[in-house]
Amino acid sequence: MTTHDTRPGSTGGADTPGPLYGGPDDDYTPEQLAALPPEELDRLGARYDGVEILHVEPGPEPGSPMEKRAVRQVGLLFALAGLSAFAFCVVYAGAGWFLPDWQWELGSSTFSTLYTPLLGLFMALAFTFFGIGLVLYTKKLLPHETAVQDKHDGSHFDRVTTGATLIGGLHNSGLKRRKLLTRSLVFMGGGLGLMLVAPLGGLIKNPNRGNPLGTTEWAEGVRLVRDDGTPIRPGDQVPGSLETVFPAVPGGNHLSDAATMLIRLRPAQQAEAVPRAGQEDFGYGDYVAYSKICTHAGCPVSLYEQETSRILCPCHQSQFDVTQGAKPIFGPATRSLPQLPITVDDEGFFVARSDYIEAVGPTYWNRERI
């Protein structure tokens, strides 16, 4: 054995190029191809790709009025597109420079309110003119050809040979005989798969620790305050009115489950009021307080029509009757709005007597169990 390998492909050997990649260069010599006009070459290549050009409707005669008109149209559209694009840039950059300022302020010029519409308009015109021009170009100036391309089904030869290669590889791996390998592979795959998803466990948290869904910030002696933090006395509201109140705790007006409606019933409403069983004393005089969080999907039920005593949730139109313990009387909600037991403290302001006695907000699987 020599130290100098002289086989082809390594140093010193004679290397000969194989056949060219792709097209049938053997059938068509460069001389033959050079003799063909471009249209013929185009069709030849197309035929090689299984495409037959059946019919070509040539574009308009060069120099004909048709062509001139089409060129004028397309050229005009392209020019308008360019013009609009430049106009966009002028408005975009010119605002606050040689045009009025673009930023909207109370009482500022009309230009600032027109700024975004102008930008959109010019951008739209630029794109649309360009697009229409291009479509007209292909429709009016390009030849229209009808081409047919063959569609091939899968080849039996390919299927059989590829199958043989795959089966050969599988056979050579010997996985069928080497059971230990197969089993350890399955074991490893399971382990690896589990390992890869395991970090998602960081997302898992226990929702049952401390009953977060069943409790709110309301507690005995917590004052009912308005959004601005002022407490409420029984005489502050007129009969038939509704006010949204929050617990007097820091950030109480941004809690997602504590918002409560303090409603003063009209005498007629109170006369016919039927509180829920066991909750007859939750109100205070003609005042009742219900959770504002809809028991259906959690939206704030906001629309109170005091003539009919109905509270409507604007999200899915559940309706609750305040004279019947906020029982749902129409729509998809299934449970009454929870009632907050209220009373008045030593200084004459409304306070809660306790937290809600049931979970507020939407129903969930184990709600009744907590």
Partner 1 sequence: MARTATAPGAPKTLAGRAALEVDDRLIVAGPLRRTLNKVFPDHWSFLLGEIALYSFVILLLTGTYLTFFFQASMTEVTYDGSYAPLRGVDMSIAYASTLDLSFDVRGGLLIRQIHHWAALLFVASIIVHMLRIFFTGAFRRPRETNWLIGVALLVLALVEGMTGYTMPDDLLSGTGLRIISAIILSIPVIGTWAHWAVFGGDFVGDLIIGRFYIVHVLLIPAIILGLIAVHLLILVKQKHTQFPGPGRTEHNVVGSRLFPTFAGKATGLLLVVFGVCAALGGLVQINPVWLWGPYNPAQVSAASQPDWYVMFLDGSTRLFPAWDIYLPGNYNIPALFWPTLVLPGILFTLLALYPFIERKLTGDTASHHLLQRPRDVPVRTSLGVMALAFYVVLLLSGGNDVIADKFDISLNAMTWIGRIGLIILPPIAYVITYRICLGLQQHDREVLEHGIETGVIRRLPHGEFIEVHQPLGPVDEHGHGALAYGGAPVPKKMNQVGGARRAIRGFFSPIEEPAAVQLEQAGEERGLASTDPQRELTSSGRPAEGGRPSEGGRPSEGGRPSEGGRPSEGGRPQEPRD
* Interaction residues for partner 1, span 234-293 (CB under 8 A): 244, 246, 253-257, 259, 292-293
> Does 231 engage in binding with partner 1 (CB under 8 A)?
no
> Does 117 engage in binding with partner 1 (CB under 8 A)?
yes
Say if residue 61 is exposed, middle or buried (CB neighbours under 10 Å; 0-12, 13-18, 19+). Answer: exposed
**Neighbour-count burial for 242-269, b at 16+ CB within 10 Å, e otherwise:** bbebbbbbeebbeeebbbbbbbbbbeeb
- Residue 65 or 169: the one with the smaller Cβ distance to partner 1 is 65
Phi, psi dihedral angles at 341 (to 5 degrees): -70, 125
Judged by CB under 8 A, the residue of 71, 78, 85, 128 near partner 1 is 128
Token pair for 258: 């504590």
Spatial separation of the C-alpha atoms in residues 72 and 68, rounded to whole Å: 6
- Residue 163 or 207: the one with the smaller Cβ distance to partner 1 is 207
Judged by CB under 8 A, the residue of 75, 82, 94, 120 near partner 1 is 120
- Residue 83 or 255: the one with the smaller Cβ distance to partner 1 is 255
- Residue 44 or 344: the one with the smaller Cβ distance to partner 1 is 44
Angle between helix 110-136 and helix 65-94 axes, rounded to 10 deg: 150
- Residue 131 or 189: the one with the smaller Cβ distance to partner 1 is 131
> Please, which of residues 56-75 interact with partner 1 by CB under 8 A?
64-66, 69
Closest distance between partner 1 and the C-beta of residue 71, in Å?
A: 12
Judged by CB under 8 A, the residue of 39, 40, 220, 227 near partner 1 is 227
Spatial separation of the C-alpha atoms in residues 205 and 32, rounded to whole Å: 76
* Number of chain positions touching partner 1 (CB under 8 A): 107
Neighbour order of strands in the sheet with 310-312: 303-305, 310-312, 319-321, 327-330
Judged by CB under 8 A, the residue of 116, 165, 184, 308 near partner 1 is 116
- Residue 67 or 286: the one with the smaller Cβ distance to partner 1 is 67
Judged by CB under 8 A, the residue of 10, 144, 166, 281 near partner 1 is 144
Positive/negative CA dihedral, 276, 281, 282, 288: positive
Name residue 44's amino acid. L
Judged by CB under 8 A, the residue of 234, 331, 343, 354 near partner 1 is 331
Judged by CB under 8 A, the residue of 40, 79, 82, 146 near partner 1 is 146
> Does 332 engage in binding with partner 1 (CB under 8 A)?
yes
Task: Return the residue matching tokens 């829920």.
Answer: 276
Judged by CB under 8 A, the residue of 1, 21, 62, 346 near partner 1 is 21
Judged by CB under 8 A, the residue of 147, 181, 186, 274 near partner 1 is 147
Spatial separation of the C-alpha atoms in residues 293 and 299, rounded to whole Å: 6
**Neighbour-count burial for 69-96, b at 16+ CB within 10 Å, e otherwise:** ebeebbeebbebbeebbebbeebeeebe
> Please, which of residues 166-205 interact with partner 1 by CB under 8 A?
203-205
CA distances from 169 to 159, 165, 166, 176, 184 (A): 15, 6, 5, 12, 20
Closest distance between partner 1 and the C-beta of residue 277, in Å?
A: 18
Q: Whose CA is closest to 244, among 305, 316, 311, 302? A: 302
Letters for 339-368 (x = contact with partner 1 by CB under 8 A, - = none) are ----------------------xxxxxxxx
